[in-house]
Amino acid sequence: MIKVAIFLIVFLVGELLVNLTWFNYLKVYFSFHETNNTTVGVADTSNKNQKFLFLDLSTFKGMMERFIITIGLIQGFAPILIVFGTIKLGTRFKGNQDIKNDYFLIGNFSSILISLLYYYIFKKLV
């Protein structure tokens, strides 16, 4: 039970920090700009104002992704990284989305790195 509590503390504190700092910076850096009546953006804006459990939908999806990856790593299931890579590739091949590759790659690499960091901290504390 103590391991679960330690994991939840590491995860929740980490998510609070990365969502208020790093991911907030990425959203601002890759934000939408109106240039000569054309939108140069990072993602589909249809989810922009949607909320789930009092969080922006994109924030919730990122937290869920990192939670699952970290749990997979703690359980010794390293192929979870391959599973998520495949899922991410599959979702990229949708029809007409305006996603910048840089935003996509930096966001995904950041999520994996943060999950590995959670795993490392958890293993050091337990």
Q: pLDDT tens digits for 69-114? A: 888 888 888 888 888 777 777 666 655 555 566 777 778 788 888 9
Instruction: State the total domains in the chain.
Output: 1
Across the chain, mean pLDDT equals 76
Q: Would 43 be classed as within a structural domain?
A: no
Determine the pLDDT at residue 98. 56
Determine the pLDDT at residue 34. 35
Distance CA 73, CA 81 (A): 9
- Which comes out higher in pLDDT, residue 90 or 126? 126
pLDDT band at 48 (very low <50, low <70, confident <90, very high): low
Determine the pLDDT at residue 94. 59
28 Cβ contact partners less than 8 Å away, ≥ 6 residues apart: none
Determine the pLDDT at residue 13. 92
* Environment class of 22 (CB within 10 Å of its CB; exposed 0-12, middle 13-18, buried 19+): middle
- Which comes out higher in pLDDT, residue 66 or 47? 66
Position of tokens 């935003």?
103
Per the structure, the complete domain to which residue 18 belongs is given by 2-30+50-93+101-125
**Single-letter residue type at 125:** L
- Which comes out higher in pLDDT, residue 4 or 39? 4
Q: Would 60 be classed as within a structural domain?
A: yes
Determine the pLDDT at residue 36. 38
37 has a pLDDT exceeding 50: no
Q: Would 37 be classed as within a structural domain?
A: no
Q: Would 41 be classed as within a structural domain?
A: no
Q: Would 68 be classed as within a structural domain?
A: yes
Q: Would 39 be classed as within a structural domain?
A: no
